Each structure stands twice: as C-alpha cells, then as structure tokens.
Amino acid sequence: MDSRRESVSAGAAPVVVGVDACPSGWVAVTLRGGVFASAATAGGLSDLLAGKEDAAVVAVDMPLGLLESEHRSAERQAAELLGPHRSRIFPVPPRQVWEQPDHAAANACCRRLTGRGLSAQTWGLAAKLREANALRDGGEYRLHEVHPEVSFANMRGGGEPVAWSKKGWNGQAVRRRLLQEQGIVLPDDLGPAGRVPSDDVLDAAAAAWSAHRIALGTAVSLPAPPEKSDTGLDIAIWY
C-alpha cells in the first residue's frame, strides 16, 4: 500500500487535490481533512502538482485511460446516471483518435473505429488529455479520473443531477451550496485562481470532494470494478 494511503487509514487528515482544465491551463482546489485549504492555477498539470507531494489523491476532470478500438464503459454508465442531462458526458474514443494531427484526421479515425464522428469540442481536449495520460502512464498513480457533474449529483444524496447549467447564476449558486453542505466553503477571494471562470473553480472543488472520498476509501467507481486501459491501468470515473 502507498505510504500516503497508510497515513490516511491511520487517521491522519488527508490532503487531496481536485483539478479541472481551464482556459489558462489547469485550476486546482486543495482540501485538508475535507476542508478548503487553497486554490491555484498553472499552465501545465505537472507544474500545478509541483509542491503537492503531501497529497494522497489527485482527482482530475479529464479522461484517464484509453481503449484500442472502442468507447469506454465509464461514460456510458455516467450518462445513464445523469439521465436527462446525459449530454454533459461525452464518449471518449480510442487512443488512436487522440494521436491524430488535427480534428479532420481524428474525426475520420473515430468514424472508422467506432462508427461515430468526433466533435470539435471534444477534440479541443486533446492536448490536455494527452498531458494527463502521459503523467499517469509515467507513474503518477495518484491521478484518478472524476466527472464533476457525477460528483454534484451524488452530493444531493439521491444521485439527482443539478438541473441548471453550470454556466449560469442559478447553476453556480446550487453547486456552491452543495459544496458548502459537504463542508467545502470556497472563499470569496481565491487570489490568482479567482481569475479562472467560476464554473471551472466549482468543478475543481467537486473533483476535490471526490478525491477526499477516494482517500478515505468510500468512493464509488463507474464501472465497478474499473475497466483496464490498453496500458493496463484502471479506467473509471470516481465519485
């Protein structure tokens, strides 16, 4: 067992990090014992994690682990959980698609492998998806995949997704209240991280909530047990 997880199981207050992609790179919310500790931003994910050696778990809103020739079960099950809001989940195509040089080539490759095309919005994640997967494939096993909308749905107890979009006032107010009910109170002044779009900060905080549950051993995965990627690592959305 990892020494960080041993300290958690021994009763120490876990330090965890939730990460979301944002226009300037990445934004992170750090919790200590389930309570807000800090927020930060960086252009690169490895830069963001520098100095976070005490973190037991890093939960990131980015697909981790890819298959050779098909879509993953994680998104299919997450979409079922979100029901009428399933459009908030996008299917993650195979590794070959993400290795293409541009969207046109990726779209053609995706259609050939899966029978479905690839949206420009999904392709826009390519650089960050490659970055996150390279880190985990390279041995950063603290990284766990999460999806904030799945996390927020489960904060409500019954697994009901938030009806309001995260881009608007109502949706952000509901999500901030859900975090507060879980003991995660985001300060009004986040310093430089406060320049990041509000929905990205809320998503990072939701990722941190899931990271805390992973550290405590109370998190659930979709699917359970996880699938295995083409590199032998787990594929699952945790919450």
Query: Residue 202's pLDDT is what?
Result: 98
Q: Say how far apart CA 157 and CA 228 lie, in whole Å.
A: 29
Average of pLDDT values for 188-201? 97
Considering only residues 202 and 160, tell me which one the structure prediction assigns the higher pLDDT.
Answer: 202
Q: Do residues 45 and 132 touch, judged by C-beta distance below 8 A?
A: yes
| Domains of the chain in sequence order | 3-67+129-238 (3.30.420)
User: For 119-129, how does the pLDDT look when each residue is reduced to its tens digit (9 = 90+)?
Assistant: 999 999 999 99
- 37-77 pLDDT, tens digit per residue, is 999 999 999 999 998 999 999 999 999 999 988 889 999 99
Report whether pLDDT(4) > 70: no
Is pLDDT at 2 greater than 70 in this prediction?
Answer: no
Q: Is the pTM here over 0.85, yes or no? A: yes
d(CA 207, CA 146): 6
Answer whether 174's CB lies under 8 Å from 200's CB: no
| 132 CA to centre of own chain | 10
Rounded average pLDDT over 161-166 = 95
The per-residue pLDDT of the chain, averaged, comes to 93
Residue among 36, 40, 87, 81 at smallest CA distance from 211: 36
